[in-house]
Structures are given as structure tokens and as C-alpha cells.
Amino acid sequence: MASLSVGVACVLLVLCMVVPSLAAVYTVGDTSGWTTGIDYSTWTQGKTFKVGDTLVFKYPTFHTVDEVSSSDYSTCTVGNAIRSDNSGSTTVTLKAAGTHYFICGVVGHCGNGMKLAVKVESSSSTTATTTTTNPDFSYSSSNRSSFAAYFITCVALIVILVIN
């Protein structure tokens, strides 16, 4: 009976480790990163973005990552960013379904290809956040507390199963 409890505890532990990691992490532009001269619409082809997935922008700090409206994306209008960051490493966790638009806020860079439109599908997980070194480029919610609660619950279940 003890070995059955240990076996169940091991399965639960594996599930606790796998379930939170189901969200995908995409490095924008892959090894090229966030820069001019890249066709980001080609980069998005074949990728399915879901709520909870993360975009990682890697770039020199003379660029920016600006989340913008559809109109500003289409016209490469700078200066109206919803959120902006120029830290060189911006992580955006996709919070809502729909299309999200990003451009470089440096004049002329969007026109040279630094623009990304990401169509995000809904998923079963709706808790997400954006984290960067710039607090002005962040969403209001954080998934750290929900992850901590999930982790503590998993550990408690494992302990209960092992004790019994």
C-alpha cells in the first residue's frame, strides 16, 4: 500500500511540474531578435499563439518595444504607445485573445520591418502578465501568487498521499 501511495505521489509531482509549463515561450525573430530588416509576418507563420504564451524581445537598447493600436501599427505611427520598453530584453505574456500589435518606436524602424502582429487564441488558462525591467510596460495582474498557490496545493497533496 505504501508503494502505491509513493507511485501516486510521483505522478502528482510530475503533473504539478508539467501543467504550469504548457504555455509556450517565443523569442521574437529567433536568433535575429528584434531588429530592422526582418519580416516578422513570416516569423509568425506556422505558430499558434495562445493566452498565457510569452513573447521575448531581445534587442539593443537603442530600439524599443511599443505595444500599439491596430491603426498605429498599420501606419507605423510612433508616440502613441499603449506600453513601451527599451531595456533590451522585454518579456510580454499574452494576456488576452485577439491581435496584439508591437512596433519599434524609433522613427523609421517600423517602416524598416520592426513591426509584429500576433493573433492570440484563447486557452484554458487566463492568468497572465507582462514582466520587463521597465515598470511602465507591465500589466496590472501577476501570475506569481496563483503559481505559488498551485505549487503549495500540489505539495500538500503529495504530503497527504505519502503520509497515508
Indicate the pLDDT class of residue 25, thresholds 50, 70 and 90: very high
Rounded mean pLDDT, 90-115: 96
Q: Supply the pTM of this predicted model.
A: 0.67
Q: In angstroms, what CA-CA distances link 164 with 3, 8, 27, 138?
A: 11, 11, 44, 44
Mean pLDDT of 62-81: 97
Q: Is the pLDDT of residue 29 over 80?
A: yes
What digits encode the pLDDT tens for the residues 108-128?
999 999 999 999 999 764 443
CATH number of the 22-122 domain? 2.60.40.420
What grid cell was written down for 7? 507511485
**pLDDT > 90 fraction of the chain, expressed in percent and rounded:** 60
Q: Indicate the domain borders of the chain.
A: 22-122
Q: Rounded CA gap, 44 and 26, in Å?
A: 10
